[in-house]
Amino acid sequence: MKRTSLCLALLLGTCIGASAEEVTLRGASAFAADTTFDRPFKAFVGWINENGKGVLQINVVGGPEAVPPFEVGNAVSSGVIDIANVTAAFYTNLLPEGDALKLATNTIQEQRQNGCYELVDQLHQEKMNVKYLGRTGDGIPFHLYLTKPIETADLSGLTIRTTPVYQAMFESLGGNLVRTAPGDVYTALERGTIDGYGWPAQGVLDLGWDEQTKYRVDPGFYQVDVDLIMNLDTWNGLGDAQKDLLQRGVEWVEAKNAENTKANEEEFAKQAEAGIETITLDGAAREKWETTAQDAGWEAIKAIDADTAAKLRACLTD
């Protein structure tokens, strides 16, 4: 009997590794369904569910309404959720160094070549019991959006919504900062409790924030990291075919990062149509803006762990 089922399994090609049976992972996204930073995850889940029949499926249990964005890291770390779509800025409580991912100037494909992916994966495994699968968002910078104009790289007198992404930079430029999840930005703008917010080049219109936004400050800075992370115990319990499927799915969705430069341009055109004016910092103001972004960003990582900061800088900016 046993031999027959083993042969059958071999014929069907599903008998590799510990978990030959189809596994269903519980997934969650830190970004609201059908908004910019959820779309690559949705595509990834679709790819897995299409190509992983009989091997592995992902059931997305929800977005920020199900798991608050700043809790997603904890949920994956503890195994409440198996796999998630989340930026490292939302789990700095578990992996403060993860904030360096935004400082990458190269692509995830380059990071897979130069060993950076392994380093980032190792940090996730050791510090938060998480397998780092990969990243979307390459090629999308962050910007400051405002309801009041600025003339130079000076944010004093302004209250700005932040996350760890913008914290060090905006603080160095004199801003008053309030940290909120994306879901609280609209109301904060409407009530006038903030004068602006940090957000990537893409997504403002999706969220309806254009109604409350007057200016985008250029240039952008840093690079979005929206990471696919997985509970390490769940990962370790998978068979080779399941791991291979996930890795192929991740690389498939990462290849789409190349579309982001064009998408940024399209988004800027839509922002302009929606009445968002561009404030372009030039000359000394631009220099200060860009230098502060880099210096304050890396100083913050160095203050967490100088050795890790040096290693990450070497491979994220080579």
* H/E stretch holding 11: helix 2-12
| x/- map, 22-41, ligand 173, by CB under 6 A | ---------------x----
How many residues belong to the site for ligand 173 (CB under 6 A)?
11
Closest approach of Cβ 241 to ligand 173, in Å? 32
Distance of CA 186 to the CA centre of its chain: 20
Closest approach of Cβ 222 to ligand 173, in Å? 9
Question: 91 vs 289, which CB is nearer to ligand 173?
Answer: 91
Closest approach of Cβ 151 to ligand 173, in Å? 24
Residue 62 · residue 80 · CB < 8 Å: no
Closest approach of Cβ 260 to ligand 173, in Å? 12
199 binds ligand 173 (CB under 6 A): yes
Beta-carbon contacts of residue 176 (< 8 Å; ≥ 6 apart): 157, 158, 159, 160
Q: Rounded to the nearest 5°, which phi and psi values hold at 230?
A: -140, 145
SS3 204: coil
Applying CB under 6 A, among 101, 103, 150, 165 the residue interacting with ligand 173 is 165
Question: 45 vs 56, which CB is nearer to ligand 173?
Answer: 45
Closest approach of Cβ 45 to ligand 173, in Å? 18
Q: Torsion angle of alpha carbons 245, 250, 251, 254, nearest 10°? A: 160
| x/- map, 213-242, ligand 173, by CB under 6 A | -----------x-x----------------
- CA separation for the pair 242, 221 (Å, rounded): 37
Site for ligand 173 in 87-116 (CB under 6 A): 87, 89
- CA separation for the pair 130, 118 (Å, rounded): 13
Distance of CA 192 to the CA centre of its chain: 27
160 binds ligand 173 (CB under 6 A): no
Closest approach of Cβ 195 to ligand 173, in Å? 16
Question: 184 vs 251, which CB is nearer to ligand 173?
Answer: 184
Which single residue is written with the structure tokens 């130069």?
A: 114
Q: Rounded to the nearest 5°, which phi and psi values hold at 138?
A: -55, 140
* Binding range to ligand 173, per CB under 6 A, among 115-123, 152-160, 192-200, 254-262: 192-200
Closest approach of Cβ 165 to ligand 173, in Å? 4
Longest dimension (CA), the chain: 79
Range list of β-strands (E), 63-164 = 83-86, 130-136, 142-146, 159-162
* H/E stretch holding 17: none
Question: 27 vs 164, which CB is nearer to ligand 173?
Answer: 164
Interface contacts to ligand 173, rule CB under 6 A: 37, 87, 89, 163, 165, 182, 198-200, 224, 226
